[in-house]
Amino acid sequence: MTLAELVDEYRQVGIGPRILGQVREVVRAVARGYDPTIYGASAGWDEGLDDLVQEFGLEVLVGQGQLDYAILMATDHQHFRRLLARQVRYLLARRRRRTIVDNLIDRAHRLAATPPFRLLGQRSQWSYTLVGKEVVAGRVSEAAARSVAARFAELPIIRAEPMLRAPAVYSEASLRTILAELAAAVPCAVGAGDLDRVLSLLLTSWLPCFLKEAEATVANAAAEGMSAEDLAIVEEATMAILSGCERGQLEVLRLKLAGHSDEHIAETLGLSRPTVSKRKRAAMGRLEQGLSGIDQPLRLAVLDQLGERLEAARGGPRGKS
């Protein structure tokens, strides 16, 4: 199989048998590194592979235009496969996030049926508000969602086993607090979609730390034991994170990767706690983007390389000013 053959088929029919065959091979190869019960909602990939291939083809290759991009950018057959593999990893990462958020929304639905909340609508399109509160039609604004998420960025997180399909993340009391504050902050009823946005924003700072814990359950892969493709992925992700953070955010990230508390970071850098929290959220958001979709053993390699480079550049990390 050559890139020229794939390009010729693409120009004639779009996704034909050659490209579809490559897609199935790449999806199967990448999926092998992920637990099917967590990322595929099935007991094994033999059962869930067809659904994953279909979702990848429709949502990513066609819906997001990634096949157009891969055909345009690939320099050879293997490069084409690497571009596809990276997008498969991104899709699997989104599946994992949805599992965690869905679990929280299901718990929120149960809580919303009890005081001080009042549940509205049917199971498929439910919303809630506070008992006795009059609401107006509408949806929670993006500004309100971000405001509530920022308010609870430091809310305690339940330590979880990394391989759980849908970790609890928040205690019942903490989740109840989030629901109450969100309902009180907006004039309308709060729908499941509104909760989805708020919880996804809250998880932005948590997921990278959770993923790093997950890597502790996987044997460290020595750099010399990784393939050239793996090394390229690690390098690309590391540079994307470094170049995407401002200088102050990199300093906070360096100390967080070293395991220091926000209080220690504030004292070390001579900053206020709110400033440290703001920089940490921004850095963790960039970190999450960089790690999203990367195969499990490689995430730890990225974090290790980040720590080494940030320590080596303590005199002045080369991020955006």
Domain map (residue ranges) of the chain: 3-98, 112-203, 217-312
14 C-beta neighbours (distance < 10 Å), count: 12
Query: What residues are paired with 127 via a beta bridge?
Result: 120, 191
Query: What residues are paired with 128 via a beta bridge?
Result: 119, 190
321 residues of the chain, pLDDT tens digit each: 899 999 999 999 999 999 999 999 989 888 877 778 767 777 788 888 888 999 999 988 998 888 998 898 888 888 898 888 878 877 876 676 666 788 888 899 999 999 999 999 876 689 999 999 999 998 899 888 888 888 887 777 766 554 555 567 888 999 999 999 999 999 999 998 899 888 877 776 555 445 444 433 333 333 334 555 566 677 888 888 998 899 999 999 888 877 677 788 888 899 998 899 899 888 888 888 887 767 656 777 788 778 778 877 765 434 444
Q: List CB contacts of 128: < 8 A, sequence separation 6 or more.
A: 112, 117, 118, 119, 120, 179, 183, 189, 190
Q: Which residue has the tokens 């730390």?
A: 209
Q: What is the pLDDT of residue 213?
A: 47
DSSP per-residue string spanning 185-218: H-SBPEEHHHHHHHHHHHHTTTHHHHHHHHHTTS
Q: What is the pLDDT of residue 212?
A: 44
Contact between 170 and 108 (Cβ < 8 Å): no
Q: Give the closest residue to 128 by CA, choosing from 176, 200, 60.
A: 176
CA terminus-to-terminus distance, the chain: 46
Please state, in angstroms and rounded to a whole number, the distance separating the CA atoms of residues 94 and 176. Answer: 25
Contact between 80 and 74 (Cβ < 8 Å): yes
Q: What is the pLDDT of residue 319?
A: 45
Contact between 6 and 18 (Cβ < 8 Å): yes
User: Which CATH number does 217-312 carry?
Assistant: 1.10.10.10
Token duo for residue 242: 């470094």
